[in-house]
Amino acid sequence: MGITHQPAGHKTATTSWRVVDIVIAAVIAVSSGVIFWAWNSTHHLLDVLFLAFPPSAALVSGMWLFPAVLGALIIRKPGAALFCELVAAMVSALMGSEFGLTVLASGLIQGLGAEVVFAAFRYRTFNLPVALLAGAGAGLFGSVNDTFIFRWFPEYTTGMLLAYIAFMTISGIVIAGLLSFLGTRALAKTGALGALASRKAATEPILG
Amino acid sequence: MAMSSASMLHRENDTAATLQHRSGAVSVSARNWGWRHADRAHAALSGLDLEIRAGERVLLAGPSGAGKSTLLYALAGVLDEDDETYSSGELLLDGAPATQGRGLVGLMQQDPETQVVQARVGDDVAFGAENLSIPPAQIQRRIIEALDAVGLDVPLDHPTSALSGGQKQRLALAGILAMGPGLVLLDEPTANLDPDGVLEVRDAVLAALDSTGATLLIVEHRLEAWAQHMDRVIVLEPGGGIAHDGTPGELFAPGPVRGKLIAAGVWVPGYTPAFDPLPPPEQPGALLLEATDLAVTRKRGARPAASGLALRLGAGEAWCVRGANGSGKSTFALTLGGLLPPGSGTVLATGELAAGAEARPYHWRATELVGRIGSVFQEPEHQFVTNTVAEELAYGPRHAVKPGTREPLFTEQEISSRVESLLSRLRLGHLAEANPFTLSGGEKRRLSVATVLAAGPQVLILDEPTFGQDANTWRELALLLREELARGTAIIAVTHDADFARALGAHEFVLASPATADGTAPTDARPGLLEADVRGGTSFLGRANPLAKLAAVALATIPLVASMDWVSSGIVVAATILALPLAGLSIPRFLARGWPLLLAALFGAWGTALVGNDSGAVLLDLGLFTITQGSLAAGAATGMRAFAVAIPAVLVLFTTDPTDLANALAQKARLPHRFVLGALAGMRLLGLLIEEWTTLGMARRARGVGSRGSAAARLRANLGQVFGLLVQAIRRASRLAVTMEAKGFGTAERTWLRASSYGRRDAGIVAAGLLLGVAATWAALALGTWNLVWS
């Protein structure tokens, strides 16, 4: 008895979120929120490494940016970067954050930095360059927010502020961009992403 | 949180059987139906023709890979169609396509943890009914009736995380019943449960069906408990249609059909793979491991899960550890395996096993442990640490070291011959290059045992190795372990499976039942990590709308963001401390939760004092950096501001239940409820993931992944563990999404059992926040300390 293979769906599943997209995005975000919380209470231990030039502490700030890129690479829907970063921030605030509620505003702005990059590629390209750009976007938006909007470092000179922006952008590229890209490919190899649009991430061309 | 669910949900005088579906039981028909998943090359099912009458009770059987679960998911309408899936033919419920069967069908899956959506029992039962837009008053009646029907007698605000596996499955069933479905689909509902749990869930299912008359379609491996209660058994053919269709009596009676089913690995009632009794050992094996007056516990200092345990384990001996849920079986096994420290008493390896290392296994390095004691965890995926099956097998022997040294235990040649021999012994040769995570359930189980055997441990400890396995995998496992026994390996298996214990000729080690009043396992009823503290939840702020609290904190924070001065910061800090009683908090309790914030503020102050612009007298000279009066003042302002930004949020987090926050965000702030409730469900998985993190750490140590050692080794081990956790998190989330979708979640409209209210108290809180912000600004301006950060 033959089976007639025909595309089943008329739903165009490219932009609308399904329940599985929402729940997996939420779990990624919530897990990231816990990592934020742990990172919030431990990253000061690294401060000693950056004493020579305090703005260089931004080199590890990518730890606060990865959910935006990781979420978008895995879920591949409009708003995924924003949603994951915002929910992660919300969870870390609920668990007690040294940044209080301002962390929500930071999350929104950092998420937006990654989101605009994915939007610029119309949510169709999720290769390495786009991931790195998104990491850079999150780092750039986040650092401009820290230095010129929230003004967390009133003691810095303009040169130090600009250095901070450069360092955080680099951190975004490496920690949020590169690690998220590699992580997504490794996850796809385990079959865990079978229900998602990123299920073939491991076999897609890295640059194409 | 506020509302007491129990008082709200009293039973009303209504005699109508609200649980019964209005259109009665639903019939199923498939016409040449087939389906291929997006990530698979072959169809899961094809050419299926099937008619199930309304009200029939049908058991769906067949070898693994026959598409049983796929059929259930399709009937539940949770198979997503997209560009990469293929379907053919028709699948109908009461004559209409199954994809439109919302509200007609209820689905329960295997993993109890992902059958629960909400944090409290009453809310969880209501979830599906809310999605079907049933009026709240009617949902309240249904909750009571449904919990009655499944015999779950716990308060409505009982935390769902404190239920046992069997209770969680009954809760899931209650949630399905509250939707009033005409077709109930159960996908291996008891595979993860012990024998008591199996009967508990089965009886609840049968009683519920008796009262609602719904059609039942169930997939199970172990047919014994269910077969006699079914009208019909349908056996599916892998990749095809129906192999056999008849009454349980017809199919399971001795004959060719029964023989075929057994050959396919189906657990037909009354069948267990037979083994000759093992010959008694010629001489008693040497003593390897000895536990004396042992008490076991997962948490240092906590009440032991079991105590007074004594065991002498000799080479070639098998022991089976039995006991009720919560009696500490797994904890005992982990302690014997050198993965948990003894609570009190000792676990000592003899000279025969330790071979030069110290006697306490918990103090061995992971690389010393793997060559001596192997622990096989219940979930195989917890122990996978590489990318291919072959590497997975080589990992243990490659990392095993001679005791007290860093010399490898095996040569490269020995490693490859061990890998080759295990691959062929376990029929995994064709999968050598496959990713371990992508194997089938039975293959994963065989691989996880093989990876631990690869390093040649003399003691093998297994936790429920036969859960959810088909009869063929069961037989292979028994054969493999019998071979190990014959080689002199000692085996300890935590198992409820008496047949398996018999096949190994195991001695019994029975743990006493935990002593509790109601006979159920003692569970930790403390709230989850993100849930509001009990005292905070009933305080003045605890009864307020979460949005009002957030708005008040945001308003009070604005001047802090705008200005860097100690006056406005000080006023906000003082006001927060004065408001602590409103949150039911004392200063010590506040410090217990808020100390990291204080610490962070001190760090910030210190940093600024070091690098800030120097002015005034030098107070401390550290060479490159100096602390001066000017920089110290700047540091104090920075620290005070950081503290002021951080602590008002503590009032919110201590008094806000995430469920109430989600309700408020969806109902009052009008955020899309799909995203809000999705995020809430994700948070509920969190407690589970934290537990899983600990388990993963132990499971990986049992594979030889060291978490003790240099910073680089720790970082690598931690990254691997994060990845392992992420895989589990995504798998759990996928199953939870299926649960939610099967409960009708995801449509535009729904009703809410808990209405989010906004009253005078809430308006007052927002006004107080505004007042605080204005006062802080005014005071700073008046005292001349206002220092706008943007200027």
Residue B613: list chain A partners with CB under 8 A.
155
Q: Lowest-pLDDT range, B53-62, B757-766, B780-789?
A: B780-789
The pLDDT score that the predictor gives to residue B18 is 55
Residue B574 has pLDDT above 70, yes or no: yes
How far is residue B551's CA from residue B409's CA, in Å, rounded to a whole number?
A: 63
Cα separation, B385 vs B480, in Å, equals 23
Query: Is B553 in Cβ contact with A100 (below 8 Å)?
Result: yes
- What single letter denotes the amino acid at residue B687? G
Which pLDDT band holds residue B7 (cuts at 50, 70, 90)? Answer: very low
In DSSP notation, B731-779 reads HHHHHHHHHHHHTTTTSS----SS-----HHHHHHHHHHHHHHHHHHHH
Which chain B residues in 655-684 lie under 8 Å from chain A, judged by CB atoms? 656, 658, 674-675, 678-683
Least confident residue range of B168-182, B566-580, B701-715 = B701-715
Amino acid B532: pLDDT = 55
Distance between CA atoms of residues A95 and A34, nearest Å: 8
Residue of B nearest to A188 (CA): B727
Tell me what the mean pLDDT of segment A67-80 comes to: 97
Residue, of B764 and B22, whose pLDDT is higher: B764
Domain boundaries, chain B: 287-514, 534-656+760-782
In terms of pLDDT, which residue wins out, B596 or A150? Answer: A150
Residues linked to residue B170 through DSSP beta bridges, in sequence order: none
DSSP SS3 for B430: helix
Band the pLDDT of B10: cuts 50, 70, 90: very low
Residue A75 pLDDT more than 90? Answer: yes
* Under 8 Å between Cβ of A190 and B727: yes
The dihedral built from the CA positions of residue B577, B580, B581 and B587, taken in this order, carries a sign that is: negative
Over 70: is that where the pLDDT of B20 sits?
no
In 3D, which of B379, B352, B349 has the Cα closest to residue B361? B349
Q: What is the pLDDT of residues B401-459, one digit of tens each?
A: 887 777 888 999 999 999 999 998 888 888 999 999 988 888 999 999 999 999 999 99
- Residue B520 reports pLDDT greater than 60: no
**pLDDT band at residue A22 using 50, 70 and 90 as cut-offs:** very high
Minimal C-alpha gap between A204 and chain B (Å): 14
Q: Nearest CB to A30: which of B241, B650, B686?
A: B686
Q: By the CB < 8 Å criterion, does A43 face chain B?
A: no
Percent of residues, chain B, with pLDDT higher than 90: 49
Confidence of residue B195 (pLDDT cuts 50, 70, 90): confident
Rg (CA), chain B: 30
What confidence tier does B16 reach under pLDDT thresholds 50, 70, 90? very low
Taking all residues of chain B, what is their mean pLDDT, rounded to a whole number? 86
pLDDT at B227 over 50: yes
Q: Which of B730, B736, B747, B791 is most worth mutating to test chain A (most A CB atoms within 10 A of its CB)?
A: B730
- The answer to whether residue A27 scores a pLDDT higher than 80 is yes
Q: What is the pLDDT of residue B272?
A: 86
> Which range is least confidently modeled, A52-56, B28-32, B759-763?
A52-56
The predicted structure's pLDDT at residue B501: 93
> Are A99 and B603 within 8 A, CB to CB?
no
Handedness of CA B413, B415, B420, B421 (dihedral sign): positive
Tokens of B116: 């629960």
Q: Residue B8: its pLDDT value, please?
A: 39
Residue A47 has pLDDT above 80, yes or no: no
- The pTM of the full predicted model, rounded to 2 decimals, is 0.88
Q: pLDDT tens digits for B484-498?
A: 999 999 999 999 888
Secondary structure letter of residue B562 according to DSSP = H
B284 or B104, which is more confident? B104
A46 touching B, CB under 8 A? no
DSSP state of B62: -
What is the b/e burial string over A123-155, where b = at least 16 CB atoms within 10 angstroms of the residue's CB? beebbbebbbbbbbbbbbbbbbbbbeebbbbbb
Residue B435: list chain A partners with CB under 8 A.
189-191
Tokens of B159: 């935390």
> Are B414 and B397 in contact, with CB atoms under 8 Å apart?
yes
Min CA distance, B532 vs chain A (Å)? Answer: 10
| Residue B138: closest CA among B150, B125, B151, B155 | B125
A196 sits in the region (left: phi over 0; alpha: psi -120 to 50; else beta) called beta
Average pLDDT of the segment spanning A106-121: 97
Q: In Å, how far is B63's CA from the nearest CA of chain A? A: 21
pLDDT reading at B650 higher than 90: no
CB contacts of A24 in chain B (<8 Å) are 730, 733-734, 737
- Strand order in B373-376's β-sheet? B373-376, B459-463, B490-494, B318-322, B507-510
- In a 3-state reduction of DSSP, which class is residue A139? helix
> Quick count: other Cβ atoms within 10 Å of Cβ A118?
28
Q: How many CB atoms sit inside 10 A of residue B290's CB?
A: 18
pLDDT of residue B614: 62
Kindly tell me if the per-residue pLDDT of B531 is higher than 50: yes
DSSP character for A77? S
How far from each other are the two terminal CA atoms of chain B, in whole angstroms? Answer: 43
CB-count burial class (<10 Å; 0-12, 13-18, 19+) for B406:
exposed
Please determine, for residue A4, whether its predicted confidence score (pLDDT) is greater than 80: no
B262-280 pLDDT, tens per residue?
A: 888 888 888 888 888 887 7
The better pLDDT of the pair B684, B626 is held by B684
| Confidence label for B623 from pLDDT (cuts 50, 70 and 90) | low
Counting residues of chain B whose pLDDT is more than 70, the rounded percentage is 91
Tokens 């002498």 belong to residue: B312
Per the CB < 8 Å rule, is B656 touching A194? no
Q: Are B695 and B381 in contact (CB under 8 A)?
A: no
Q: Which of A7, A94, A155 sits opposite B653 (nearest CB)?
A: A94
Which are the contacts of B221, defined by CB distance < 8 A and separation ≥ 6? B188, B191, B266, B267, B468, B469, B470
- Chain A interface mutation, best of B625, B731, B750, highest count of A Cβ atoms under 10 Å: B731
Q: Do A7 and B593 touch (CB under 8 A)?
A: no
What domains can you pick out in chain A, each with its CATH number?
19-203 (1.10.1760)
Higher pLDDT, A39 or B215: B215
**Token pair of B97 as six digits:** 């396509």
pLDDT of residue B634: 76
What ipTM goes with this model?
Answer: 0.89
Question: Is A4 an 8 Å CB contact of chain B?
Answer: yes
Indicate the pairing of strand B215-219 with strand B183-187. Answer: parallel
> Which residues of B are less than 8 Å from A52 in CB distance?
624
In this predicted structure, the answer to whether residue B22 has a pLDDT above a threshold of 70 is: no
Query: Quick one: pLDDT at residue A25?
Result: 96
Contact B561 A186 (CB under 8 A): no
pLDDT in tens, B682-733: 888 888 888 888 899 999 999 988 766 677 777 788 888 889 999 999 999 9
Stretch B325-333: mean pLDDT, rounded? 87
Inter-axis angle of helices B673-701 and B658-667, nearest 10? 150
Q: Check pLDDT > 70 for residue A110.
A: yes
Indicate whether B754 pLDDT > 80.
yes
Q: Which residue of B has its CA nearest to A86?
A: B679
B287-514 placed in CATH 2.60.40.10: no
Residue B404's Cβ-side half-sphere holds a number of Cα atoms within 13 Å equal to 7
